[in-house]
Structure 1
Amino acid sequence: MSHLDVIIGSKKRKRSGERAFRFKSFGKPGYPVEFVGSFRENVKALLEFGHVESNSATEMPSWSFQLEVHRQTQILLFVVEEAVETSLNRQYCKHCQYVGWGHHLICNKKYHFLLSSKDTAAAYINSCEGDSNNVRAGCANGKSNMLELQGHIMHGVFHSNGFGHLLSVNGVEMDSDLAGHLIMAFWDRLCTGLRARISERTEVEFVPLFGRKVSLKDISQKRGMELRLLHGLAYGEPWFGRWGYKFGRGTFCVTQPMYQKAIEAIQGMPLRLLIHELGTSNHDVGVILSRYQALSDHSLISLGDLFHFMLELKSRLPKENCIDSYNPGILVETTCRWSPKRVEMATRVIVEALKRAEFRWVSRQEVRDAARSYIGDTGLLDFVLKSLGNHIVGNYLVRRSLNPVTKVLEYCLEDISNVLPNQEGLAITNPRVMARYKITRVQLMKDIVYLYKYILKDQKPAQGTGIFSAVSVAAGIILDSKYLIKEYFGDLPLKVELGFEGKLNIYCTVLLRNNELEADEGEKAMPPYECVTLKNNATIDDLQVEVQRSFREIYMGLRSFVVESALNLNAQGTDLVFGLVEVGRKLVFEGRTKEQGIITEQIHESGRNNEVVDCPCGAKEDDGERMVSCDICEVWQHTRCVRIPNTEETPHIFLCTRCEQEIVHLPFLP
């Protein structure tokens, strides 16, 4: 019986010995296994706890883990082992190419980790056990329908060298049972565990070791808003940044410095200039800005301040309750020793004193002295002055700021009657007007979406000049920064580790020398360091044999690799490894493949790609964006860069600008 039957509601009883794992703990050290070896060893150790899917007719081995989210909610984790010979697509990894890892050697295996919903699990059962002979043939030919199905809660893949790609995350927005942050926490635990290099119980000192990297393409959205732009504006990093993912590679030739400058520019856009540019063309934007300025405890100066405050407010605001952005003065706490009536009276006196200042900034002491003519309780005045800053009182916003020169608190009134409904006196009595300033989560999200679309995304032609042109350019750069990378570092002991059962962990890589590979390019061809485990009485010859075995097992192009020498180790083959390797030493072994005439390009992820990319944006490589090829010179360019809208199909005949100009200047034929 398969775990699939349990998940989709089969009435068969679960087999004895099968185990359900806690979803929120799965992947932590010791649950279900201690991750103490290399990536391959850790994967094998994890799969020993999985249930072998015997009902799969595919040639790809697969395992399943039953994960319990809640007592009544269970999901299924599939692990599918895909060999390069049975790959569903071409052997080259397009994700590696797009993120800039085209120089990596092709691995022999990939491991797909899939969190499947009930729908995808049921679809897999139906496709491989249905009555259709065509479907059965598809499964038998190695077409793993589980990998082809869409709608997985999560799909991540690792190459056998430990590098990986997070291909999809479908949270609540896609009708998933799990929120996106829970899925990402699960994925991060897996990545961290599988990349663990040294047991935490090993008492040695460490230095950083070259880590394994995981990439993702950030196209996540929420209510039509691109999260990489929304969170970049509010927090200076994408939504995935909370798990350590950072800029990896931009499309359309966007670089990391360009991305960082765009983030700083769009975050620092002054709100006053934006309001000035809008003028009277949009009344709603002014109302929204004043609403959240009144709710904030400090002045919202920039566009980044505004969006940061709104997103933080959303995280703290109860789903059902609301807060009142209209305040006749201040919110009186239940522990306040003055009655609300006395607080409101003191507020009126202070506002009238500020009115007499004719909207100029006045010091706290000056305001306090003017109010003392009417309010003798200085404690009450101090309380109100402390609490009143950046609150709406009637038609006025009471601003409070620290003078940067005198370091003295100053107050000023700002007339906001032009952006608020007409009000009489200092209190709002109209229920409709009061309801307008009740902030719920629904209203807050509407305001965020409105500002996002009006200021950042759907700008009108009139907004194409001035400060809005800078906003548009910065937003475009951020949206073109889709590929994110996180590096999971391991550790290298400062001395050779004498592990359990008298074994040594040595960290090695290889340098492939072929006729096609020049000597000065050797460093580029070096794979990442691998952890090689030896007995403490192993010799240099034993080490070379183990290095050969490990790298042959990992990489397709090194299946016949033979070690010839160690570049940075002067030793004889019979010398013992233990005691010979110096503190912090990493070993590089040089060798060749037995196969004659091996083509270097065919063993790297980039392959032998004869396509030439030369786009006006400066791109020289395929970055995953839509491209079109010139029918004369066959050079590829982005459709966006040659002004072909994404909503239109590429033309049947396309000529680049250079070829067009050459044709125009050709002499007429007789």
Structure 2
Amino acid sequence: MAVMDVGRAAKRARRSSRVSADLYDFSTFPTEEVTGGDSTLPPFRDGVRYFLASHARVTFPSSTLFSSLMTWQILLRPGYSMDGSDLSSRIVSLDVVEEDVTRSSRSVYCDHCRVVGWSSHPVCRKKYHFIIRSGGDSKSLNIGLQKACSGCGNTQNLSEGSNCKWCSLALDVEDWIYSQLEDNTHLLHGVIHSNGFAHLLSVNGREGGSGFLTGRDIMDFWDRLCSSLAVRKSSVMDVSRKYGMDYRLLHGMTNGCSWYNEWGYEFKSGSYALTREAYQSAVNTLSAIPLSEFLFQGRRPRTQLHSTIAFYQSLSCSELVTVRDLFSFLLQLIRENRAKPASKPLDVLCAWTRSDVERVQLAMVKILKATGGNQASWVSRWALKRSICKTASPQLINYCLKHFGGMLVDDESRVVCFRCNPISNDFEYR
């Protein structure tokens, strides 16, 4: 009796710990503690079995009706968002579908492997779908649950048979199940063959239907998942049309590579037989275009483009020479603006002391005096910023320049004048 009691108690303890282990942190799962912390990982076909047995629960077991499919589910908590809001009440559901291609009526060959160039690989019997559905709720994937009959409209559980129990019409079950897998609205859909080669099929962030997960959050999760499961290679086909072609070129011009390169993806091939060398050459050519070709020249009429480029050149502490310099500076301003807190504490009036402001303004006065001598000449805002950029932070310099015009110097016998140059569209001081 004592032995049986110990066994029952141990069984209950394992079950309770299993339930509590289901809610991992989405931002860190899977970690080394989850995967075992071994430096040498087993091959994917063995690692995925251990992964599912340790952290997932079966939601739809294999049956005679669906002998080719078996599903698991892992529930994750997103934690906190970038703006600091609490997301502890939200749940992210990761559905894992094991597909046995030898028991399916569909082709055993993978179209994605053919496109990537992996057609020479032996056909794998099993492949695993990792899916986070749009909405991020805690419901499992709608496989093996209920389907509406196209004849009478009644719904029935698919485990009750492949024919409608009301009108005896044959339900197109298999096509309906695979339509669930081929849905491109999933927040994440990745397929990994049992040989360790993977395809990232879908990534949709907030603009793709996610309520709180960004595209970067999803990519970080997929990257950790591939690393912990010892995925050998992963492919992705970038078919996004977000904001048009001009927007898609931004990341390439500023960083010299695509957005996916941040997670180790390298350009392999493009449409119309575009090679890696041709792609890199195009990116380098666009990035190295000098801004002087767009600036105001001669007697030609000044455009808004000229004014915009000159304005951001005046804001930058470093010289903006090429298109890459300009867009890198713009993206830096956007990131800094997003990183600012929504509201400042009321007891903080200024980030700098009066002595800091006076020190920077006196340095600018010395530059104006040294530039023109007795006959002072105009000095542009950008030239002043470049001269003192190492003496203070860019924010402090901008603050001092904002209040520099009209400042009294030399015992209030002289005043700092400023104007806006109509040609360069930049402020000038003397």
What is the TM-score normalised by the length of structure 1? 0.45
Task: Specify the alignment match of 2:321 in structure 1.
Answer: 301
The verdict on how the C-alpha distance between 1:80 and 1:383 changes in structure 2, with shifts beyond 3 A counting, is closer
Q: Is the 8 A contact 1:58 1:142 kept in 2?
A: no
Comparing both chains, which one has the higher relative contact order based on Cα–Cα distances under 8 Å and sequence gaps of 6 or more? 1
The structure with the largest alpha-carbon Rg is: 1
* Distance in 2, Cα, partners of 1:282 & 1:58: 69
Q: Aligned residues, how many?
A: 350
Q: Which residue of 1 aligns with 2:25?
A: 22
Matched, 1:69 2:78: yes
Displacement after TM superposition at 1:289 (Å): 1.1
The amino acid across from 2:294 in the alignment is: L
Asked whether 1:194 is paired with 2:229, we answer: yes
How far apart, CA to CA, are the structure 2 residues paired with 1:350 and 1:106?
Answer: 77
- Between the aligned partners of 1:234 and 1:192, the Cα distance in structure 2 is 28
**Matched residue, 1:215:** 235
Which residues in structure 2 correspond to 1:215-614 (within 5 Å)?
A: 215-220=235-240, 222-224=242-244, 228-275=248-295, 280=300, 283-318=303-338, 334-336=354-356, 338=358, 342=362, 345-346=365-366, 349=369, 352=372, 416-418=421-423, 420=425, 426=429
SS at match of 1:248: coil
Q: Is the 8 A contact 1:162 1:195 kept in 2?
A: yes
Shift in alpha-carbon separation, 1:288–1:82, aligned structure 2, 3 A: same
Q: Which amino acid aligns with 1:61?
A: M
Partner SS for 1:309: helix
Q: Which runs of 5+ in 1 are unaligned?
A: 1-14, 197-211, 323-330, 368-381, 395-413, 428-670
| Corresponding residue of 2:10 | none
Partner of 1:128: 145
Q: CA deviation at 1:25?
A: 2.1
Q: Distance in 2 between matches of 1:88 and 1:274?
A: 60
* TM-score, normalised by the number of residues in structure 2: 0.68
1:388 is displaced (CA, Å) by: 12
Specify which of 75, 80, 85 is matched with residue 97 of structure 2.
80
Contact persistence 2:92–2:138 (CA under 8 A): no
Paired with 2:340 and 2:90, the residues of 1 have a C-alpha distance of: 25
Q: What residue in structure 1 maps to residue 207 of structure 2?
A: 173
Residues 355 and 273 (structure 1), Cα distance of their counterparts in 2 relative to 1, 3 Å cut: farther
The alpha-carbon distance between structure 1 residues 127 and 256, as it changes in their structure 2 partners (threshold 3 A), is: same
Q: What residue identity is the alignment partner of 1:297? A: C
Question: What RMSD in Å do the two structures reach over aligned CA positions?
Answer: 4.2
Map of 1:47 onto structure 2: 52
Instruction: Indicate the residue corresponding to 1:149 in structure 2.
Output: 183
The CA deviation at 1:336 is 1.8
* Kept in 1: contact 2:76–2:91 (CA 8 A): yes
Q: How far is 1:22 from its partner?
A: 1.7
1:109-128 alignment, distance < 5 Å: 109-118=126-135, 124-125=141-142, 128=145
Of residues 107, 112, 119, the one that matches 1:95 is: 112
What SS does the corresponding residue of 1:317 show, helix, strand or coil? helix
Aligned counterparts of 1:334 and 1:175: Cα–Cα separation in 2: 49
Alpha-carbon distance, 1:55 to partner: 7.8
Structure 2 gap ranges (5+) = 1-14, 80-87, 159-170, 343-350, 403-418
Distance 1:286 1:162 in 2: 52
Percent identical pairs in the alignment equals: 29
Check conservation: 1:114, 1:154, Cα contact below 8 A: yes
Question: Measured at CA, do residues 418 and 114 of structure 1 come closer, stay the same or move farther in structure 2, by a change above 3 Å?
Answer: same
Distance in 1 (alpha carbons) for counterparts of 2:393 and 2:421: 16
Distance 1:99 1:66, change over 3 A: same
CA gap of 1:276–1:101, structure 2 versus 1, over 3 A, is farther
Partner deviation per Cα, 1:378-425 (whole Å, 9 max, x = no partner): xxxx9699679998979xxxxxxxxxxxxxxxxxxx98523539x8x8
Larger % of strand: which?
A: 1
Cα gap change, 1:271/1:27 in structure 2, threshold over 3 Å: closer, same or farther?
Answer: same
Q: Which secondary structure state, in structure 1, belongs to the residue aligned with residue 331 of structure 2?
A: helix
1:263 shift after superposition: 1.8
Partner of 2:91: helix, strand, or coil?
Answer: strand
In 2: Cα distance, 1:80 partner to 1:141 partner: 16
Contact 1:120 1:150 in 2 (8 A): no
Richer in helix (by share) = 2
The 1-side partners of 2:362 and 2:60 are apart by 77
* Distance change >3 Å, CA 120–CA 101, structure 1 → 2: farther
